[in-house]
């Protein structure tokens, strides 16, 4: 895996995130927090979890630290716009980090300890790809919730992304 591949995948990730956020803006505030059967409770919670994960993985990859306080503990995110604003900042931070990487960095080892006391080591490009793949899982859940509310984002796959770019 090289850095240009990761950057391309991250571009897709940002496009898909924007699609979810733009479609979510069509909902009422009540729909954003309406309970669902998905793991993060509602659309707002799923969006925040996805943002929080991107934030956590960037910090882990960039600084080799696991942030102890997650965004859900430090940011109130009272509105969808507050989520969008924070996400734009995170996207800029991630792009700056990726812009500073070289192909030779992709094999670097990311080393960290879990809260359970386990020590883990991962290859950097695996972590970066995981972050994107994790987002895909939760965007699929968001797409299902949005569709249930009558606001389908339509396709979120790479083919649509390629067609639109």
In this predicted model, what pLDDT tens digit does every residue of 136-151 receive, in sequence order? 999 999 999 999 999 9
Confidence of residue 25 (pLDDT cuts 50, 70, 90): very high
Confidence of residue 92 (pLDDT cuts 50, 70, 90): very high
Q: What's the topology of domain 3-29+36-164?
A: 1.20.120
Q: What's the whole-model pTM score?
A: 0.95
Instruction: Name residues whose C-beta falls within 8 Å of residue 85's C-beta, 6 or more positions apart in sequence.
Output: none
Q: Where are the domains of the chain?
A: 3-29+36-164
pLDDT beyond 90 at 45 = yes
SS3 38: coil
Confidence of residue 39 (pLDDT cuts 50, 70, 90): confident
SS3 per residue for 110-141: EEEECCCCCEEEEEHHHHHHHHHHHHHHHHHH
Task: Tell me what pLDDT residue 80 has.
Answer: 97
What is the distance in angstroms between the CA of the first residue and the CA of the last residue of the chain?
Answer: 22
**Mean pLDDT over the full length of the chain:** 95
Cβ contact 79:127 at 8 Å: no
Alpha helices in the chain (DSSP H): 3-24, 29-32, 43-63, 71-74, 80-99, 124-148, 158-164
Instruction: Name residues whose C-beta falls within 8 Å of residue 157's C-beta, 6 or more positions apart in sequence.
Output: none
């Amino acid at each position: 895996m090289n850095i240009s591949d990761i950057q391309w995948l991250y571009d897709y990730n940002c496009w898909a995130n924007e699609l979810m956020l733009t479609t979510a803006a069509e909902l009422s505030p009540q729909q954003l927090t309406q309970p669902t059967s998905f793991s993060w409770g509602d659309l707002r919670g799923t969006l925040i979890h996805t943002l929080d994960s991107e934030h956590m993985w960037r910090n882990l990859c960039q600084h080799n630290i696991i942030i102890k306080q997650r965004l859900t503990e430090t940011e109130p995110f009272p509105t969808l716009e507050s989520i969008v604003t924070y996400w734009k900042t995170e996207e800029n931070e991630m792009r700056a980090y990726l812009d500073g990487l070289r192909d030779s960095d992709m094999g670097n080892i990311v080393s960290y300890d879990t809260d359970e006391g386990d020590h883990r080591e991962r290859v950097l490009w695996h972590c970066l790809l995981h972050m994107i793949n994790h987002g895909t899982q939760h965007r699929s859940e968001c797409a299902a919730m949005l569709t249930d509310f009558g606001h389908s984002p339509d396709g979120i796959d790479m083919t649509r992304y390629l067609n639109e770019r």
